[in-house]
A and B are shown apart, each in its own frame.
Chain A
Amino acid sequence: MSKSYLDAGETHCAIGHPKTVFWQWMLTVDHKRIGIMYAAVMFVFFFIAVFTALAMRIELFAPGSQFLDGDTFNQAFTLHGVLMIFLFIIPGIPAIFGNIVMPLMIGAKDVSFPRLNWFTFWLYIFGCLVALTSLFNFNITEGEILFNFADTGWTFYAPYSLNTGTNVVTTLVAAFILGMASILTGLNFLVTIHRLRAPGMGFFQMPLFVWGIYATAWIQLLATPVVGITLILAVMEKYFGIGIFDPSKGGDPVLFQHLFWIYSHPAVYLMILPAFGIMSEIMPVFSRREIFGYRTIALSSASIAGIGYLVWGHHLFTSGMSDVAKTIFSFLTFFVAIPTGIKFYDWIATMYKGKIILDSPMLWALGTIITFAIGGLTGVTIAMVGSDIHLQDTYYSVAHFHYAILGGVVFLLFAGLHYWFPLVTGKLYNEPKAKVAFYLNFVGINLLWFPMFIAGYLGMPRRYFDYLPEFEIYHQISGIGAVVIISGLLLMFQNFLSSWKSGEASPLNPWNATTLEWYTPSSPPPLENHTKVPYVDFGPYEYHYGQPKVKFDLQTMKRID
Chain B
Amino acid sequence: MANTKTYEEERLGYYKVLGGLLLLTVVTFIQPTMFLTDATFGVQMLIGTVKAWMIVMYYMHMKGEKLITATVIFALFLVSFFFVIVMIDVNNFQYGDVSHITSEITSAGGSSASVH
Q: Judge whether A325 and B113 touch: CB under 8 Å.
A: no
Which positions in A face B, CB cutoff 8 Å?
194, 222, 226, 247-252, 255, 258, 262, 309-310, 313, 320-325, 328-329
Q: How many residues of B sit at the interface, in one of the four size bands?
A: 10 to 19
Give Cα distance in the complex from A255 to B78, angstroms.
17
A250 lies within 8 A of B88 (CB): no
Contact B67 A194 (CB under 8 A): yes
- A325 in contact with B85 given A247-B100, A247-B101, A252-B101 (CB within 8 Å): yes
Known: A222-B75, A222-B78. A258 touches B101 (CB 8 A): no
Residues of chain A within 8 A (CB-CB) of B85 are 313, 325, 328-329
Q: Give B70-111 as 1s and 0s: 1 = Cβ < 8 Å from A's Cβ atoms.
A: 000011001001100110110011100000110001000011
List residues of B whose CB falls within 8 A of some A CB.
67, 74-75, 78, 81-82, 85-86, 88-89, 92-94, 100-101, 105, 110-111, 113
Indicate which residue in A222, A248, A310, A328 contacts B88 across the interface (CB closer than 8 Å). Answer: A328
The 8 closest A-B pairs by CB, nearest first: A322-B92, A325-B89, A324-B92, A252-B101, A322-B89, A322-B94, A309-B78, A250-B105
Taking a contact as CB atoms under 8 Å apart, the answer to whether A320 and B94 are in contact is yes
B68 CB to nearest chain A CB (Å): 10
Name 11 interchain pairs, CB-CB below 8 A, sorted by A: A222-B78, A247-B100, A248-B111, A250-B101, A251-B101, A258-B86, A258-B89, A313-B85, A313-B89, A322-B93, A324-B88
| Most chain B CB atoms below 10 A, which of A194, A247, A248 | A248
Q: Give A328 to B88 CA distance when docked, in angstroms.
A: 10
Taking the closest CB of chain A, its distance from the CB of B27, in whole angstroms, is: 31
The listed residue with most A CB atoms (<10 A of its CB), out of B85, B88, B100, B113, is B85
Alpha-carbon distance A210/B105, docked complex (angstroms): 54
- By beta carbon, the residue of chain A nearest B113 is A248
Report chain A residues within 8 Å CB of B105.
249-250
Q: How far is the CB of A321 from chain B (nearest CB, A)?
A: 6
Q: Select B92's contact among A226, A247, A310, A323, beta carbons within 8 Å.
A: A323
B110 to chain A, nearest CB (A): 8
Contact residues in B for A251 (Cβ distance below 8 Å) = 101
